[in-house]
Every structure is written in structure tokens, then in C-alpha cells.
């Protein structure tokens, strides 16, 4: 059987890397399987200006490189590979990448979430140049400009309300004639003097050579095409937690997020942190915070289960 580790961390974004720093400093010699998309959602962000400690801001990839360096300095073993399968039905738990099998007494899941995108070529091309999935991260760059938010759920409402404090005007483009969002959020958006709603409209194209200049939308009822000038497009059509690996092994909620109590999951010895278990806050700093909690929870759990097994042996 493969070498037995104290803890394996799956996912190399802010949550996983913070868990790695704490676990390494607790002498747990963590193995962190960071995935080929190591660094997580911050790798597709340009300037991060809301991460405390960087008053001048920091580039998302640079911040993740600093996290990695800090984890390695304390002895975390980083493995750049995707996990293809896990088995947490019995201890020690099993984690497989394409070429390797890993065994551990505890597992910390930090696989994050992925923003959903419209799937347009123009959207992909201008991502980071006016196309964003995070108003909190990027809204600040568009002070006093006209902006577009796409979506009709609570996230879209929250993004629109946040941006309305910064922008001169926000247009919410929604594909139906009513919002999915909670009534209170929807009413706030509809009543807001700086927010307009373009109902029954689908974005067909984001227009701009180097930066976003406008969006082309098609009316789903009349078929009419309209061009809305805008400096940025905030796509807020939901996130998908990256939990495919865990379905049928660890409890997830209706939207696919791992159900946690603190950072404990439905499986004893398996912990989860960051966006994979958080549909609400989804910030690098909150992901980091819960990564720290997961490592401390895992450490305590390992201590208490070592204690239990040594007690059992003692009595045997
Ligand atoms: P939701 O799934 O609730 O909403 C997604 C929205 O995007 C829907 O209006 C949907 O349209 C629209 N949409 C989906 N796909 C497309 C597409 N391809 N093209 C155009 N529009 C599309 O996701 P949210 O991220 O808004 O919310 C996720 C969860 O998090 C919810 O439970 C929400 O309540 C919660 N949340 C709570 C907050 C709070 O309480 N403060 C803040 C943020 C989120 P349609 O309606 O037609 O399906």
C-alpha cells in the first residue's frame, strides 16, 4: 500500500494553500494535490485590491505564488496533478491522480467553485479586459462608467447593487421577465434609481477589440437586436462547486455544495473549506480563513483519534 500520510489536501487555491501552511506548521507534513488549475479563481483575476496586507493591490497569480512559497517553506509537498478519484468509505482514505495512489488518515477538500460563463467566444476573449465574474474584485476599475450585469439570481442582484455605488448606471440583462432572486433583493434592484433592467434579453456578443465597449442583446420575445454601450460586463449566472469527485461519498446540498458543520463534513476525518462549501461569501480572504480552520480541525481530530486508538490498544 502507498505511504500513509497524516493529511492530504485537495485543491490549491487560497483555502487549500492556507490549510497547507497551517498543517505544515503543525508538523503534519501535508501533501497538497493542487490540480492543474493550481491557484484557483485568483489565477483569472488581474488586480486583487481587497486582500488585506497589500495596500497597493497584488496580482491574483502573484498572490497565489506567495501562498505556495509560504506552504513549501514549512514543508508542504505540492503535487501538480488533478485528482481523478477518492475513496473515503474506509480509513485510511484513498486519493488517486492519474499516475499515483495516496493514502491518508484525514483529507481536507478545497476544490473551490467555478463561475458559470455564457459560453461566448467574445466573452472568453475579453475576460479580464472588462468581462468579469466578480464585482467585488473588479467593479472599482469602472468608477462613473456605465456597466452591465447579466443574470437574475441573488448574485446578480448583489453585483448590481454593489456596482451601482460605483458606476454612473447599471443595466441588468436577464433572460426572462421576472427575477429568480429573493423578493427583497429584486425589489431593491428594481427601485434603484441608477439601475435599469433589460428583461427578456440574452447576450449574443460582447463587443470590443481590446476592452469591452458594448454588448449585443437579443430580445427573446420579439427577436429584436439591441446594442447596449458598457465599459464592463459582469456575468453573474451562478457558480458551480467542484464536487463531482465526492458525489455519493460526502453529503452535498441541493446546489452541489459540500454540507459542513464548521469544516467537518458528513464523513469523520474529512474536512472541507473555501468555496466548495460556501455559496455566500466566496472571497479569497474567507476561503483562506476557512482553510486555516480546516487545518486546525484536522489536527485536533488526528490528535483525538490517535489518542482513541492508543487507548484502545492499551485496553486490548
Ligand atoms: P442562481 O442559480 O440562483 O441564479 C442564476 C441566474 O442566472 C438565474 O436568474 C438564471 O436565469 C441566470 N442564468 C443561468 N444561466 C444563464 C445563461 N446561460 N444565460 C443567461 N442567464 C442565465 O445563482 P446565484 O449565483 O444568483 O445564487 C446561487 C445561490 O446563492 C442561491 O441560492 C442564492 O440565493 C444564494 N445567494 C445568496 C445571497 C444572499 O443571500 N445575499 C447572495 C448571493 C447568492 P433563470 O432565472 O432564467 O434561470
Q: What is the pLDDT of residues 13-25, one digit of tens each?
A: 999 999 999 999 9
What average pLDDT does range 244-270 have in this prediction?
A: 97
Are 49 and 148 in a shared domain?
no
pLDDT at 310 over 60: no
Are 89 and 175 in a shared domain?
no
Which strands, in side-by-side order, build the sheet including 214-219? 201-207, 214-219, 225-229
pLDDT at 44: 61
Are 243 and 105 in a shared domain?
yes
Domain edge (last residue) among 205, 235, 265: 235
Task: Please give the number of the atom of ligand 1 that sits closest to the Cα of 238.
Answer: 25
H or E stretch including 5?
Answer: strand 4-10
Task: Please give the number of the atom of ligand 1 that sits closest to the Cα of 279.
Answer: 30
Question: Quick one: cell of 279?
Answer: 455559496
Q: Give the residue numbers spanning the domain of 229.
A: 121-235
Question: Quick one: cell of 138?
Answer: 473588479
> Which ranges of 82-234 does DSSP label H, i.e. alpha helix?
121-125, 135-138, 154-164, 183-191
pLDDT at 39 over 80: no
pLDDT at 239: 86
Domain edge (last residue) among 217, 235, 253: 235
Are 209 and 110 in a shared domain?
no
Q: What is the DSSP letter of 224?
A: -
Q: Whose CA is nearest to atom 34 of ligand 1?
A: 154
Structural domains of the chain, count: 2
Residue range 49-84, pLDDT digits in tens: 889 999 999 988 899 999 999 999 999 999 999 999
Are 51 and 79 in a shared domain?
yes
Q: Whose CA is nearest to atom 22 of ligand 1?
A: 237
Report the pocket of ligand 1 as residue ranges, CB < 6 Å: 118, 150-156, 158, 175-176, 180, 237-239, 279-280
Give CA separation, 70 vs 110, 274, 303, in Å.
17, 19, 24
Are 296 and 277 in a shared domain?
yes
Substitution candidate for ligand 1 out of 237, 239, 240, 255 with most atoms within 8 A of CB: 237
pLDDT at 305: 81
What average pLDDT does range 123-151 have in this prediction?
A: 94
Question: Quick one: cell of 43?
Answer: 489565477
Q: What is the pTM of this model?
A: 0.77
Helix (H, G, I), strand (E, B) or coil at 94: strand
pLDDT at 309 over 60: no
Q: How far is the CA of 276 from the centre of ligand 1 (A)?
A: 16
Are 111 and 250 in a shared domain?
yes
Examine residue 92 and say whether the peptide bond preceding it is cis (omega within 30 degrees of 0): yes
pLDDT at 14: 96
pLDDT at 46: 63
Q: Give the domain CATH number at 139.
A: 3.50.50.60
Q: Is the dihedral of CA 212, 55, 239, 242 positive or negative?
A: positive
Task: Please give the number of the atom of ligand 1 that sits closest to the Cα of 116.
Answer: 15
d(CA 307, CA 62): 41
Question: Quick one: cell of 11?
Answer: 485543491
Residues with catalytic roles: 134, 137-138
Are 138 and 163 in a shared domain?
yes
Amino acid at each position: 500500500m502507498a505511504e500513509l500520510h497524516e493529511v492530504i489536501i485537495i485543491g490549491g487555491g487560497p483555502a487549500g494553500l492556507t490549510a497547507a501552511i497551517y498543517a505544515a506548521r503543525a508538523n503534519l507534513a501535508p501533501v497538497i494535490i493542487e490540480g492543474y488549475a493550481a491557484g484557483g479563481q485568483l489565477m483569472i483575476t488581474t488586480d486583487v485590491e481587497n486582500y488585506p496586507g497589500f495596500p497597493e493591490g497584488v496580482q491574483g497569480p502573484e498572490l497565489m505564488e506567495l501562498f505556495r512559497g509560504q506552504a513549501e517553506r514549512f514543508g508542504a509537498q505540492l503535487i501538480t496533478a488533478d485528482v481523478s478519484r477518492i475513496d473515503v468509505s474506509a480509513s485510511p482514505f484513498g486519493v488517486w491522480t492519474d499516475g499515483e495512489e495516496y493514502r491518508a488518515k484525514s483529507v481536507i477538500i478545497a476544490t473551490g467553485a467555478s463561475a458559470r460563463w455564457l459560453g461566448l467566444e467574445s466573452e472568453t476573449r475579453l475576460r479580464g479586459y472588462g468581462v468579469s465574474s466578480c464585482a467585488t474584485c473588479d467593479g472599482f476599475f469602472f468608477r462613473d462608467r456605465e456597466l452591465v450585469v447579466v443574470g437574475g439570481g441573488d448574485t446578480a442582484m448583489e453585483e448590481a447593487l454593489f456596482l451601482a455605488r460605483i458606476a454612473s448606471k447599471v443595466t441588468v440583462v436577464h433572460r426572462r421577465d421576472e427575477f429568480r432572486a429573493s423578493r427583497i433583493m429584486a425589489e431593491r434592484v428594481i427601485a434603484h434609481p441608477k439601475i435599469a433592467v433589460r428583461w427578456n434579453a440574452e447576450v449574443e456578443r460582447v463587443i470590443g477589440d481590446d476592452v469591452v465597449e458594448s454588448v449585443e442583446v437579443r430580445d427573446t420575445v420579439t427577436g429584436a437586436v439591441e446594442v447596449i454601450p458598457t465599459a464592463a460586463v459582469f456575468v453573474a449566472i451562478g457558480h458551480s462547486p467542484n464536487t463531482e469527485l465526492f458525489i455519493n461519498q460526502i453529503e452535498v446540498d441541493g446546489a452541489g455544495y459540500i454540507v459542513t458543520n464548521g469544516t467537518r463534513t458528513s464523513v469523520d476525518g474529512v474536512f472541507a473549506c473555501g468555496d466548495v462549501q460556501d455559496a455566500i461569501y466566496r472571497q479569497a480572504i474567507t476561503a483562506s480563513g476557512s482553510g486555516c480552520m480546516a487545518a486546525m480541525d484536522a489536527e485536533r481530530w488526528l490528535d483525538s483519534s490517535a489518542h482513541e486508538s492508543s487507548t484502545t490498544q492499551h485496553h486490548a
